[in-house]
């Protein structure tokens, strides 16, 4: 289908590109410890991008028999499209990355039901009053990218993830604990570590502590770090560079973050959700260091934004079949630091340790602002968790918060698109129900 579509389009356009996806998504959900639903969603779709009269047109469909209509629609939109700023890429060797383990392909929904039941039972025996929701999601997809410059890319990918949420209804309200496991590498689910982590949080949360509004050292555990990184992901995006709406404009080579922080956009991490040998327009994926020991290294570009900014693509085009490419992050890694797990809270007379936030993305990302409600967090006293903090929020500017990081953990958590350690921030404004 993709070949025929490209052939039809190239006869009528100056340049053409077909992006095809054939995917199967299987979801198994448990609610309150019981199997709630199973579903499988099959999708096959095609996106056609053309250059006609020097302008870009695009159309997409899930109908494999709609080739002629797709070509006509793409050409029609080109008449009103934006000028083509960059030529389509030619063939090049793809990045080396492991994307598919056969054991993931073979994991049936029956197996997910079995694992879910075992995990729910294990948690029920440890924390009887905790209601457990589980979500297994497995995506198997085949991607095809063809263009009139000779690109012919085909790859298969399988992403398999488990999210767990435990809810405790306590005398003073509700308390959520959460965990995540990336199963994409084909290893069987190890129940014990998940159950251990959730049980520890649930037990610690039964004790309540009060924290007055003020500024404190805050330890952001790996599970909460991605919410803190969101403004950085926005700021390094080549689209914002093109529009001039990023505080990083013109600051390549400048130290922006603490020198303990090296942040990499790694499109070639084995079995990570954002990995692929090529980006969304057939350019080889690569590892892009965006902050090296705190120094800003550069923006992430697709072909069009790179051309607009007078530079080269970084292989960062993201898309699905129904959308045109746009630059984006793939998998974000914060490189490990020197602090062992036992050092996370060590020496803190008073502070806060956060395992999860809610509210990411609502603040002014362009400015780097964050305002996050602490969903699962504990007061720290004399280097130990002293009880759950309820109804607290942290606020500040990520560029300032991460300019002075006290410690970076040397163990990373694999959170799918993120591979991150804990971060200890020395001075964060915390608003709570307690008096200042």
Partner 1 sequence: MESIAKVAVDLLRAEPVPAGRYTVVVDPLLAGVFAHEAFGHLSEADCFAENDRLRELMKPGTRYGVDGLSIVDDSTLDGERGSYRYDDEGVAGGKTELVRDGVIAGSLRDRQSAARMGRSPTGNARAVSYRHPPLVRMSNTFIVPRDADLDDMLDIERGLYVVGSRGGMTELESFTFSARYARLVEHGRRTKMVRGVTLTGNVFETLRNIDAVGSDLVVFGGLGGCGKGGQNQLPVGIGAPHVRIRDVTVGGS
Residue closer to partner 1 (CB basis): 312 or 362: 362
- Judged by beta carbon, residue 3 or residue 391, the one nearer partner 1 is 391
Closest distance to partner 1 from the beta carbon of 41 (Å): 6
As given in the structure block, the two tokens for residue 37 are 């639903």
Residue with tokens 């607009």: 308
Q: 395 vs 145, 233, 234, 243, 374, CA distance in Å?
A: 43, 18, 18, 26, 10
CB of 44 to partner 1, least distance (A): 12
Q: Give whichever of 21 and 88 is closer to partner 1, judged by the CB atom.
A: 21
Question: Is the Cβ of residue 92 or residue 431 nearer to partner 1 in the bound state?
Answer: 431
For residue 340, what are the contacts with CB-CB under 8 A and spacing of at least 6? 409, 410, 411
DSSP 285-346: P-EEEEEETTEE---B--HHHHHHTTS---S-EE--TTS--EE----EEEPP-SB-GGGSST
In the complex, the smallest distance separating the C-beta of residue 201 from partner 1, rounded to whole angstroms, is 15
Nearest distance in Å: CB 207, partner 1: 18
For partner 1, which is the closer residue by CB, 158 or 165?
A: 165
Rank residues 4 and 362 by Cβ distance to partner 1 and give the closer one: 362
- Cβ at position 349, least distance to partner 1 in Å: 21
3-state helix, strand and coil shares in percent for the chain, rounded to the nearest 5: 20, 40, 40
Spatial separation of the C-alpha atoms in residues 56 and 52, rounded to whole Å:
7
Nearer residue to partner 1 within complex by CB, 49 or 417: 417
Taking the complex as a whole, the smallest distance from the CB of residue 259 to partner 1 amounts, in Å, to 25
Quickly tell me which residue has 């939109």 as its tokens: 77
- Reported residue count of the chain is 436
Compare residues 72 and 163 and give the one whose CB is closer to partner 1: 163
For strands 263-266 and 384-388, give the pairing.
Answer: unpaired
The answer to whether 54 touches 127, Cβ cutoff 8 Å, is no
Rounded Cα distance, 397 and 425, in Å: 12
Choice between 41 and 251, CB closer to partner 1: 41
User: What residues pair up with 166 in beta bridges, in sequence order?
Assistant: 132, 177
348: which DSSP letter?
-
Nearest to 300 by CA among 346, 349, 236, 353: 236
Quote the crossing angle between the two packed helices 191-204 and 109-126, to the nearest 10°.
40
Q: How far is the CB of 395 from partner 1 (least distance, A)?
A: 4
Contacts of residue 290, defined as CB under 8 A and 6 or more positions apart, other chains included, come to 232, 236, 263, 264, 265, 296, 297, 298, 300
Contacts with partner 1, residue ranges (CB under 8 A):
31-32, 34, 36-37, 39, 41, 43, 129, 131, 167, 169, 173-174, 176, 213, 358-359, 361-364, 369, 371-373, 375, 390-396, 429-433, 436
Smallest distance, Å, CB 134 to partner 1?
Answer: 12
Close Cβ partners of 400 (under 8 Å, ≥ 6 residues apart):
368
- Can you name the residues that pair with 353 across neighbouring β-strands? 219, 378
Comparing CB distances to partner 1, the nearer of 311 and 397 is 397
Minimum CB distance to partner 1, residue 436 (Å): 7
Specify the residue, 186 or 387, whose C-beta has the smaller distance to partner 1: 387
Q: What is the distance between the alpha carbons of residues 292 and 331, in angstroms, rounded to a whole number?
A: 16
Report the nearest approach of partner 1 to the CB of residue 37 (Å).
Answer: 7
Whole-number minimum distance, CB 166 to partner 1, in Å? 12
Residues 352, 345: Cα–Cα separation, whole Å? 9
């Amino acid at each position: 289908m993709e070949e025929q579509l490209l052939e039809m389009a190239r006869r009528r356009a100056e340049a053409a590109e077909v992006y095809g996806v054939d995917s199967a998504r299987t979801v198994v959900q448990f609610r309150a410890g019981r199997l709630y639903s199973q579903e499988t969603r099959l999708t096959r779709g095609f996106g056609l991008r053309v250059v006609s009269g020097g302008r870009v047109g695009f159309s997409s469909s899930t109908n494999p028999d709609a080739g002629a209509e797709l070509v006509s629609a793409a050409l029609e939109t080109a008449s009103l499209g934006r000028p083509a700023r960059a030529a389509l890429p030619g063939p090049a060797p793809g990045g080396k990355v492991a994307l598919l383990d056969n054991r993931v392909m073979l994991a049936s929904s029956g197996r997910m039901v079995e694992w879910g039941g075992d995990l729910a039972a294990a948690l029920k025996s440890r924390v009887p009053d905790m209601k457990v929701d589980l979500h297994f999601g497995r995506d198997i997809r085949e991607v095809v990218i063809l263009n009139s410059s000779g690109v012919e890319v085909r790859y298969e990918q399988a992403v398999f993830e488990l999210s767990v949420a435990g809810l405790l209804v306590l005398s003073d309200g509700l308390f959520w604990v959460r965990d995540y496991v990336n199963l994409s590498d084909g290893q069987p689910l190890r129940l014990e570590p998940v159950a251990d982590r959730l049980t520890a949080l649930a037990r610690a949360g039964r004790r309540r502590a009060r924290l007055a509004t003020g500024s404190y050292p805050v330890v952001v555990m790996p599970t909460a770090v991605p919410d803190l990184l969101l403004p950085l992901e926005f700021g390094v995006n080549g689209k914002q560079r093109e529009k001039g709406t990023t505080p990083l404009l013109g600051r390549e080579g400048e130290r922006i973050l603490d020198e303990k922080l090296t942040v990499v956009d790694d499109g070639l991490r084995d079995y990570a959700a954002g990995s692929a040998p090529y980006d969304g327009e057939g350019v080889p994926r690569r590892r892009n260091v965006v902050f090296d020991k705190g120094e800003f290294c550069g923006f992430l570009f697709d072909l069009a934004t790179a051309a607009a900014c007078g530079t080269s693509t970084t292989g960062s085009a993201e898309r699905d079949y129904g959308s045109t490419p746009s630059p984006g992050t793939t998998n974000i890694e914060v490189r490990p630091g020197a602090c062992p797990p036992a050092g996370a809270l060590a020496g803190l007379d008073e502070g806060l340790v956060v395992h999860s936030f809610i509210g990411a993305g609502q603040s002014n990302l362009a400015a780097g602002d964050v305002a996050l409600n602490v969903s699962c967090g504990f007061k720290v006293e004399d280097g130990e968790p002293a009880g759950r903090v309820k109804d607290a929020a942290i606020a500040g500017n990520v560029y300032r918060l991460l300019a002075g990081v006290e410690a970076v953990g040397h163990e990373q958590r694999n959170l799918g698109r993120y591979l991150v350690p804990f971060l200890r921030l020395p001075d964060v404004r915390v608003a709570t129900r307690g008096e200042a």
